[in-house]
């Protein structure tokens, strides 16, 4: 049995985009546990993916009138897991499918395997003044904390995403402001220049700061600001589906302007697809190697990611550094 880091095991995670739930149930995994998500009569519901009658996966069944129907004998369960109907009988046995806590927030269906309170989400995920959308690629080979650090890491884009995110051979002196506390960790890079990568030039123009912010245990927000405020935010919830398998839920936000939201969505997903593929190759190779890791001079948030994931608050810290970015 896998021993997950304490805060990761107790976390809340998205398992579906609420608006996309329909007549078919969704099979999901969370922390190696099979789950089923469906549109219940009272809203989205999450059950362990096991019929209590003969252990058939409920995700192989169908949704009918807000109930999930087992494909083996047709037993029907509501969103709370209560058995409501057994075909061929006027009676209903006092058995239940195992229902999990469920919450809809920021357009996603969230659940947890623990009794922990719902976490603080990045404010940008629910900012109605912005153009926003969720991009939900398939799960892939990656350890969840490696994926979180990769999203917040300032050092790899020159090598892994040359010209798309950063110019590979063009670096400039950059001041970094780092803050770490029990609620998370943040690194702000004071750039004060025109963005160098192709994607950044298209969506940003002149950049004043770029910021990576950790919302423990597995939410990472990277935002880019110009003189008039936010230009682009990419906040990702990394879901630990299984050992070495992670699913990203990526939230994109931009200020409303002259470009229609649908056009920006098409461009952002098109530009980020090669970035996703490049990161996946790196993370899949990394997942075949064991730790421990060395800490380098640009690993500003890595130690806090691991510490907070294991339920240990790092000592509060605030400092400045200088790098070439």
What would the pLDDT profile of 265-322 be if each residue is shown by its tens digit?
A: 999 999 899 999 999 999 999 999 987 899 999 999 999 999 999 999 899 999 999 9
- Phi/psi of residue 13, each to 5°? -140, 150
**Residue 152 clears pLDDT 90, i.e. is over it:** yes
Give CA–CA dist 145/311, Å, rounded. Answer: 13
Buried b (16+ CB within 10 A) or exposed e, 78-99: bbebebeebeeeeeeeeeebeb
Residue 281 tokens, joined: 């190759």
At 272 the three-state DSSP class reads helix
Global confidence as pTM: 0.95
What's the confidence (pLDDT) of residue 162?
A: 85
Residue-wise pLDDT for 88-99, tens only, equals 999 999 999 999
For residue 30, give every residue at least 6 positions away whose Cβ sits within 8 Å of its Cβ, in sequence order, or none.
13, 15, 111, 113, 239, 240, 241
Partners of 289 in the β-ladder: none
CATH code matching the domain that covers 6-112, chosen among 3.40.50.460, 3.40.630.30, 2.102.10.10, 1.20.1560.10 = 2.102.10.10
Domain ranges within the chain, ordered by starting residue: 6-112, 123-324
123-324 CATH pick, 3.90.380.10, 1.10.1660.10, 1.10.10.1100, 3.50.50.60: 3.90.380.10
Q: Which helix (H) or strand (E) holds 4?
A: none
CA dist., res. 20 & res. 135, Å (int)? 12
Query: Strand (E) positions, 54-143?
Result: 62-64, 67-69, 76-77, 83-85, 102-105, 108-112, 130-135, 140-141
């Amino acid at each position: 049995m896998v021993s997950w880091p304490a805060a990761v095991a107790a976390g809340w995670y998205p398992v579906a985009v609420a608006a996309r739930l329909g007549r078919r149930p969704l099979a999901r995994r969370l922390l190696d546990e099979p789950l089923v998500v469906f549109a219940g009569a009272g809203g989205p519901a999450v059950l362990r993916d096991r019929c209590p009658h003969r252990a058939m996966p409920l995700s192989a069944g169908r949704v009918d009138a807000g109930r999930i129907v087992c494909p083996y004998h047709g037993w029907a369960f509501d969103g709370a897991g209560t058995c409501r109907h057994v075909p061929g009988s006027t009676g209903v046995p006092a058995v239940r499918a195992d229902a999990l806590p469920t919450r809809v927030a920021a357009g996603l269906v969230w659940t947890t395997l623990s009794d922990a309170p719902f976490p603080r989400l990045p404010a940008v995920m629910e900012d109605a003044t912005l153009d926003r959308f969720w991009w939900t690629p398939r799960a892939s080979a990656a350890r969840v904390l490696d994926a979180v650090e990769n999203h917040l890491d300032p050092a790899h884009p020159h090598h892994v995403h040359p010209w798309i995110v950063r110019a590979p051979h063009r670096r400039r002196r950059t001041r970094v402001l780092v803050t770490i506390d029990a609620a998370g960790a943040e690194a702000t890079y004071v750039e004060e220049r025109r963005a160098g990568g192709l994607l950044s030039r298209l969506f940003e123009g002149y950049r004043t700061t770029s910021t990576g912010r950790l919302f423990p245990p597995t939410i990472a927000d990277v935002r880019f600001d110009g003189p008039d405020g936010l230009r682009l935010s990419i906040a990702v919830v990394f879901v630990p589906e299984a050992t070495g398998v992670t699913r990203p839920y990526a939230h994109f936000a931009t200020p409303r302007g002259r470009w229609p939201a649908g056009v920006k969505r098409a461009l952002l997903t098109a530009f980020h697809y090669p970035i996703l593929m490049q990161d996946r190759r790196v993370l899949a190779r990394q997942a075949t190697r064991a730790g421990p890791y060395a800490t380098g001079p640009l690993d500003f948030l890595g130690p806090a990611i691991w510490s907070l994931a294991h339920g240990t608050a790092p000592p509060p810290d605030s400092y400045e550094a200088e790098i070439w970015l």
